[in-house]
Structure 1
Amino acid sequence: MISTKSFSKNKVNLIQESVDQRTHRFTINDGRGYFLDRNGELLSTDVKPQVVVFPNLFTSNWPVATIGNILQIPAEDVAKMIGQLKKPSALSLQKELSLDQMNDINKLEIPGLYAQLVTRRKPIPFANHIIGAVGQDPDLIKRKYGDKLEKGTVTTSTKTGKNGMQYTFDPFLISEGETQYIYHVDRQGHPLLGLDVKYRSQTNPLYPLYVKTTIDKKMQETVENALDVHGIKDGGAVLLDIESNELLSMASRPLFTSKTIFNHGNNMTSQQIPGSVFKIVTAAAAIEENRVQNVKKYDCSLNIYGEKDERQLGNLNVEDSFAQSCNKTFGELANEMIRTNPDFIEKYAEKMGLLHYNGWQGEVYHLNSFTHFYQEEIGQIYSSKKKHSHYQSSLAVSQTAIGQLDVKITPLAVANMMATIARGGERYEVKAAKSVNFANGTELIEFEDHTAGDQKLSSYTMMRLQSLLLNVVKNESGTGHALQALPFQVAGKSGTAEKGEGNSLNNKWFAGYFPAEQPRFALVVVDLKHDKTNRTIPVFADIANEIMNDANKSEHK
């Protein structure tokens, strides 16, 4: 009696709850903002024409035969479908309604029967980690949206973003009110006399807002399909547009479900052990510091421990060592450089952007550090748990230089590094969204390009790195030689990282860009449960081939 609007520690509004108990409703649109791909196609929602029925209002006076004729199904099937409904629902029709059929249904003006474009959230698996999921979180609503709660534009049951872009863009996407059909009933569930079904929609025609992402829906499908076909159960892929430095696709495995949202994070924005992909950093340092002598050969029949290497590669110069991924060469180069520059590994990893956030960040309205990527991690070279002196042994230096020991970087950062090399050294933050727009299409926010860091490597170093990456594929003994079968040139680097601690499975990488002579796309594929099957190169080949085919077709239209 006393606390009707704020009952118990959960602050339940008893008046609102009693109204809800006496209300039957069908939600046409939950009012939450949505995502479009770069071409304007819906990503997070589906909009379908449907016939909405309030079964409690169904009477023998309904012209069932006419309804059946419009829907092209027998009258008895219409009656049966409606009779099975327990609450306001959309009819399960075999064929999708046309706009003409919708108009014909609405012309009948039957109270309780409406044809509407109904918006529903897409099943989670598509663009699972980058788009993310929504759900109810009353505590978050109270914490973040207290002002909206006070005004009544949201309730504690309003859905909010749980992860991905649904979370980072939540301040723009949160519902300002649902669009619903509503009618009131008595305690037996019968309609209260004199009360018709009411149509309630948002009062502000500029809402809901939508986010125009940089994602290409077709490319996202290509990437997802390639990961599944080749059986990558733990890992993923990142695809960037080199010219604009925009994210075209990001997929991570395993997928999460509504029950495991926080069990399976996005592997593409999380720290991973890179293995030989990190040799790009060591090579860049050696070139920049003028340590590369083409005539000098390294004994690649030995590993970094001085023992016989199982691959027995023989004596190789730096270029062939990079192509065939000889650990000994890069271990020796690192130990040479560290004598005069103790922090060279960190210095060059930083210059290559591996120790920074790579996703777009900036101030947007009152949001000081708005970011496009949910919980993106930054890379590390050394473990904070160990003293720096631990890394002064020559073996530790060698292990670090080949991306082992405590080196961890994100696949997103590696993709951005590849795009930077392909461009000749210009580094940008990766955008996942172009703009936030009002419902009528007017731009609310445009995300401008952000350059990332002013620590550039020389154009000569970039040119040499491009040559090294190309040789990985062109060299008959190169670790990426299988990609020569593609009808265009690829430049890239493979990597295999031992996880240690008795783990029989390794991390396997292939990071590159294509076509090498006029780079358009940067792609990183990671298999975090690599056994004896190399899945990363076939996945890379399939994705690159399909994307180039589609790009060539669209140019010839």
Structure 2
Amino acid sequence: MKIIHKRIVISGSLFLLGLFLLAGRLIQIQLVSTESFSKHKVNLIDESVRQRTHSFTINEGRGLLLDRNGEMISAELKPAVILFPFLQGEAKVIDKVADVLGKSPSVIRRAIEGHEEPFVIADEKDDITTETMERINKLKLPGVYAHYIARNKHSEFASSLLGVTGQAPEVIKKNYKDKLDKGMISVNTKIGKTGFQQAFDPFLISEGETKLIYHVDRSGSPLFGLNVKYLAPSNPFYPVSVKTTVDSKLQAILERAVDVSGIKNGGAVLLDVSSNELLGMVSRPYKTGLSKNQMLTRHAPGSVFKIVTAAAAIEHKDLQKERTFDCDLGIDGKKAKHPLGNLDFNSSFSQSCNRTFGLLANDMMKKDHSMLDDYAKKLGLTGRSGWNGQVYHYQDFKQFPEEEHATIWADRYDKNQPLAISQTAIGQKDVQVTPLSIANMIAGIARGGKVEEVKGATKILYKNGNTLLTFQDHKKKAEIQPYTAQKLQMLLRGVVTDPKGTGRALQGLPYAVAGKSGTAEKGKANTSNKWFAGYFPADHPKYALVVIDLDYTGARTTVISAYADIVKKIYNNDKEK
């Protein structure tokens, strides 16, 4: 008996303990941790409301990216007819909708049966017009609404530049704690992850969606009749728009030229010389959210870097004045792969003689070990080329946050090694620069030596069109002398006009081109980085353009063909203005 009694007591105690634990858990769920349940900090109230609410998002509330002419480039507005699933069985309503849309009632009925959430009734052939929307809304049918809906563009147009958005709860908690605590956003609010979407995310991030909602019971039927509510943020100034410097027509020209040329890994950068604004940028390959922007990534520039060595030599005239160089030899003093004979400084530049610039760099480094670094800085290659500075409480706001820093030397001891100096002088060894910085250097030379930071956006605009913020020009402090810039302009033009120049294939274009080619060997067998960086028209510079093929094999003239195509198309575009 005592054993049985003991078992009963233990069983009863365990049962009561289980009840207490269950009650405690219910108290925690229902009263204590309603807004921050479990290690995942789940808001149970929000989740409960979400389960009982059906909604259709008309606009996520995220700010827009505009091109330089004010046209949307990150999203598009589409006319749409939205149907709610509680219309099942509403035969008269379905018949009226079908009549306006020119569809069979059975088609609409089947569509409604296949959805548990509000949806857009459309297919690829549908062309919802403004007139159709007006007719639908005049009917005032419950559960049927016509409205413009905003959706992100899912095309490859300027994809790497504009960037992508996505959910990142941990980033939200870290970067937007104040807005999260005030309930202005949730951990599921989309943020910019790459490109301009990332750069301008503090301004673009949504402060509330515009949507149609209704509440349902457990069976999915309307809880408060057939009334659908329209919810929208009350702030008349948001969402804002970022007015970028991108020219949509020129961007399209760049993209088509790069693709037609066969460049699979590389791209192009186009700047406005007078304003130093980015007009277009293309990076290949592109896979949504996965690919690096190659135009903001550093690469070996090859002979394009000879511009830096040339600038230093020009400002130290005694090193190259009335001097010829044995261009039958390479930088190591052995027979060159492509012997060019004895050349003066100008011809050495246009025909890209490695020996000349290796010797000049060594002479200069004997006088000053920082010579190449100093001129790379003066020409805008080192440091950030993209606009950065203080914007409100953001101390280091970057318009191109993915931009990588250039490197000139990886080992300071190389500054004492003649061969390493020669390799660096011709853009090999450890020299790594971004196509954006090369374009910035070219634009600075075309302007007469004045180097500025590249702008990708000029303004941030309130919803009503008024200006919230203007990005001012940022000029670099160090720059080359005007005479040096003029001499470099002459050298760059000679690359194209010299019958033996490396850019002679660009002669005869409607806009005269000045520029420099470059080929940098890579560890990958039989491939190299192939560049052409220049500006046009040569006599009155308007555009600075860089094209690069990062997997060049020599089988096709990808870079030159793309460059020529772009110059021709831009010339035609300018004529049409």
- TM, length-normalised to structure 2: 0.92
- Asked whether the equivalents of residues 313 and 320 of structure 2 are also in contact (C-alpha less than 8 Å), the reply is no
- Asked whether the equivalents of residues 62 and 110 of structure 1 are also in contact (C-alpha less than 8 Å), the reply is no
| Match of residue 103 from structure 1 | 134
Shift of 1:220: 1.2
Instruction: Answer yes or no: is 1:3 the counterpart of 2:25.
Output: no
1:249-302 CA-partner distances (Å, limit 9, x unpaired) = 1111121324x2xxx221111211110000000111111111464642211111
Instruction: Answer yes or no: is 1:424 the counterpart of 2:455.
Output: no
Stretch moving more, 80-89 or 197-206: 80-89
Instruction: Answer yes or no: is 1:517 the counterpart of 2:539.
Output: yes
1:151-192 CA-partner distances (Å, limit 9, x unpaired) = 111011100111111111111011110001111111221221
Instruction: Answer yes or no: is 1:267 the counterpart of 2:294.
Output: yes
CA separation in 1, counterparts of 2:222 and 2:96? 25
Secondary structure in 2 aligned to 1:62?
helix
CA separation in 1, counterparts of 2:213 and 2:559? 52
> Counterparts in 2 of 1:101-500, with a 5 A limit?
101-123=132-154, 125-194=156-225, 196-258=227-289, 260=290, 264-291=291-318, 293=320, 295-383=322-410, 386=411, 388-453=412-477, 455-500=478-523
Secondary structure in 1 aligned to 2:211?
strand
1:405-439 CA-partner distances (Å, limit 9, x unpaired) = 01111111110110110010111111100111111
- Which letter does structure 2 place at the counterpart of 1:308? K
Q: How many residues are matched?
A: 545
- Asked whether the equivalents of residues 319 and 363 of structure 2 are also in contact (C-alpha less than 8 Å), the reply is no
Stretch moving more, 108-117 or 341-350: 341-350
Q: 2:64 aligns with which of 14, 18, 34?
A: 34
Shift of 1:473: 0.6
Secondary structure in 2 aligned to 1:257?
coil
Shift of 1:124: 5.4
CA separation in 2, counterparts of 1:295 and 1:426? 28
- Asked whether the equivalents of residues 304 and 427 of structure 2 are also in contact (C-alpha less than 8 Å), the reply is yes
1:341-387 CA-partner distances (Å, limit 9, x unpaired) = 2221111111111111111111111111111102212211100xx3x
CA separation in 1, counterparts of 2:109 and 2:575? 52
- Structure with the higher helix share, 1 or 2: 2
- Asked whether the equivalents of residues 511 and 524 of structure 1 are also in contact (C-alpha less than 8 Å), the reply is yes
- Which letter does structure 1 place at the counterpart of 2:476? A
Shift of 1:193: 3.9
Stretch moving more, 173-182 or 96-105: 96-105
Where does the alignment leave 5 or more consecutive residues of structure 1 unmatched? none
CA separation in 2, counterparts of 1:198 and 1:59? 22
| Match of residue 551 from structure 1 | 574
- Asked whether the equivalents of residues 124 and 132 of structure 1 are also in contact (C-alpha less than 8 Å), the reply is no
CA separation in 1, counterparts of 2:482 and 2:142? 72
Shift of 1:236: 1.4
1:211-251 CA-partner distances (Å, limit 9, x unpaired) = 01001111111111212112212111110001111000111
- Asked whether the equivalents of residues 143 and 226 of structure 2 are also in contact (C-alpha less than 8 Å), the reply is no
- Asked whether the equivalents of residues 134 and 162 of structure 1 are also in contact (C-alpha less than 8 Å), the reply is yes
Secondary structure in 2 aligned to 1:436?
strand
- Which letter does structure 1 place at the counterpart of 2:294? N
Identity %: 50
1:85-136 CA-partner distances (Å, limit 9, x unpaired) = 3421111142422212111100011111111100001115221221111000
CA separation in 1, counterparts of 2:574 and 2:41? 55
Secondary structure in 2 aligned to 1:313?
coil
Shift of 1:195: 5.6
1:25-84 CA-partner distances (Å, limit 9, x unpaired) = 110000111100001111110110011111222433434444334323444444444444
Where does the alignment leave 5 or more consecutive residues of structure 2 unmatched? 1-28
CA separation in 1, counterparts of 2:409 and 2:361? 15
CA separation in 2, counterparts of 1:69 and 1:548? 50
- Asked whether the equivalents of residues 161 and 281 of structure 2 are also in contact (C-alpha less than 8 Å), the reply is yes
Shift of 1:534: 2.8
Q: 2:45 aligns with which of 7, 15, 37?
A: 15
